Amino acid sequence: MPIAFKEWAVTVRALAEGEQLITLRKGGLRVVGKPFRLAHERFFLYPTFDHQPGDLVRESHQPELRRALEEGVWSDGEPMLGAVASGAPVQQPDRVRIRAWAEVAGHFTIADPRCVEALSPFYVWTPDYAEKRLGWRRHQPLHVLLLRTYRIPRPVTVKVREEYTAAQGWVELQRELPFEGTPVLSDAEFDRASEEIRAITSEAGQPVLA
């Protein structure tokens, strides 16, 4: 069965549109004391709607919060945007749309807030929120995953199963999905951006996967 990586719906949209190239991790979702482990290097992107306060997304991407609701399908109607943006608990969708997959093109660990700030052109969160991820569990480094993202030819709707909502960052999807599609950035665009990301992380980070 194909593996999927959990990420906020607004972040999945940004990755699938080529507006974000990295993601940051320190631990599993809601798993206290458990460090992040890169268990897979190629995976589908699974949108989540938990704990997604709108003020953690930079102002230029606030409109994307409404579009992010398109990543879920609710039988009783989608939740109010205000509830989702505030980070309040919302009813989980009955289905989610899988529209992209990614492969890890680089994996680095960093511990310098200046590095997090320098990487801000490559994510849609506020730099303040990204730095908070760095500050959480200070004894652990922050993992930076450089992702090459591909849009699949046609979004696939997947039923949300109980095991998908467990406190973990990976889910095993109960249906076949092909790793095919079009990269969201051209080779030249991605190479330029990845060179800059590698230069930033090399100054204050440690490569895990070159």
Contact assessment for residue 144 and residue 107, using Cβ atoms and an 8 Å cutoff = yes
Residues facing residue 206 across a β-bridge: 109
Rg of the chain over Cα atoms, rounded to whole angstroms, equals 16
Tokens standing for 73? 């399908």
Biggest CA-to-CA distance, the chain: 50
How high does pLDDT run on average in the chain? 83
- All domains of the chain in start order, with CATH: 3-209 (2.30.130.30)
Please state, in angstroms and rounded to a whole number, the distance separating the CA atoms of residues 168 and 159: 18
What's the pLDDT score for residue 151?
A: 96
pLDDT of 36-68, one tens digit each? 678 899 999 999 887 666 778 888 888 787 788
Among candidate residues 58, 30, 85, 110, the one with its CA nearest the CA of residue 6 = 30
Strand 142-159 vs strand 95-110: parallel, antiparallel, or unpaired?
Answer: antiparallel
